Homo-oligomer: A and B are copies of this chain.
Amino acid sequence: MTDPCTDLYVDFLCPYAWRGVELAAVLRGEGEPFRLRHFSLVEGNHPDNVGERTWHLDEQPSGEGNAYQQSSLAAFLAAQAAARQGEEAGWAFTLALFRRRHEGGGELDEAGILNAAGVAGLDLVRFAHDRADEAGLRAELDEAAGIGVFGTPTFVLPDGSAAYYRFELLTRDPQTARQWWELYRTVLGSGASIGTIKRARHRPAPKPAA
């Protein structure tokens, strides 16, 4: 028996992850189970990790490193703290923080985190306490590395298939979300054993008639 849940790896820095979370949130509303997991783009792309993975986000002192490093670490710990108040609280906080950053154009900073906690209706005293607890983050980042996650959003299906799914548009319509999700699953399940479909960088004008 396998876990019927799809794991969704996200980084709050990433607008594609935001659209992935919105997609999953719509599908959750239709009864499809997803679990939120964290993958660090800063860690994944860190020059010290080109060969062996030696640089770990969760080992960095908070308040040090560049803005991406600091803000993504703070956001991960905040999301874990929110999830300790229940699965729905974790999703509500994650959605609120992604929307504030990528829909509202806000910063991924302390004010943003506290705002998202308020939107999610968290117990703020407990939240403040739990944010200091880094336990659990490393295990998620290790798991992502073991799967070979390299970008977000990456979905890991119950059968173990895992792929990065990058799309430009947002949907909150259940029927559209279902179509986009089924298309992704069809690609991963295709008998062709598809490894990659990746658009070329430029979109040329239509070719002239021959």
Residues of A near any B CB (own CB < 8 A): 1-3, 5, 7, 146-151, 154, 156, 158-169, 171, 176, 179-180, 183-184, 186-188, 190-210
**Within the complex, which residue of B7, B176, B196, B210 is in contact with A198, where a contact is CB–CB below 8 Å?**
B196
Given A154-B200, A209-B1 in contact, is the A183-B190 Cβ separation under 8 Å? yes
**Contact across chains for A180 and B190 when beta carbons are under 8 A apart:** yes
**Contact across chains for B166 and A203 when beta carbons are under 8 A apart:** no
Chain B residue at minimal CB-CB distance from A207: B3
Given A167-B193, A168-B192, A200-B147 in contact, is the A3-B187 Cβ separation under 8 Å? no
Chain B residue at minimal CB-CB distance from A203: B160
**Within the complex, which residue of B164, B192, B195, B198 is in contact with A171, where a contact is CB–CB below 8 Å?**
B192
Given contacts A3-B207, A160-B205, A163-B199, 4 further A-B contacts (CB under 8 A): A156-B207, A161-B199, A168-B194, A188-B199
Given A176-B191, A196-B197, A200-B148 in contact, is the A206-B158 Cβ separation under 8 Å? yes
**Within the complex, which residue of B164, B198, B200, B206 is in contact with A200, where a contact is CB–CB below 8 Å?**
B164
Q: Given the complex, which residues of B lie within 8 Å of A179, measured CB to CB?
A: 190-191
**Contact across chains for A208 and B2 when beta carbons are under 8 A apart:** yes
State the CA gap A168–B183 with chains docked (Å).
19
Chain B residue at minimal CB-CB distance from A165: B197
**Contact across chains for A186 and B188 when beta carbons are under 8 A apart:** no
Give the residue among A3, A162, A207 with the most B Cβ atoms within 10 A: A207
Q: Given the complex, which residues of B lie within 8 Å of A207, measured CB to CB?
A: 2-3, 5, 7, 156, 158, 160
Q: Given the complex, which residues of B lie within 8 Å of A180, measured CB to CB?
A: 190-192
Given A169-B192, A183-B186, A193-B169 in contact, is the A202-B164 Cβ separation under 8 Å? no
State the CA gap A206–B156 with chains docked (Å).
10
Q: Given the complex, which residues of B lie within 8 Å of A209, measured CB to CB?
A: 1-3
Given A186-B183, A202-B147 in contact, is the A195-B167 Cβ separation under 8 Å? yes
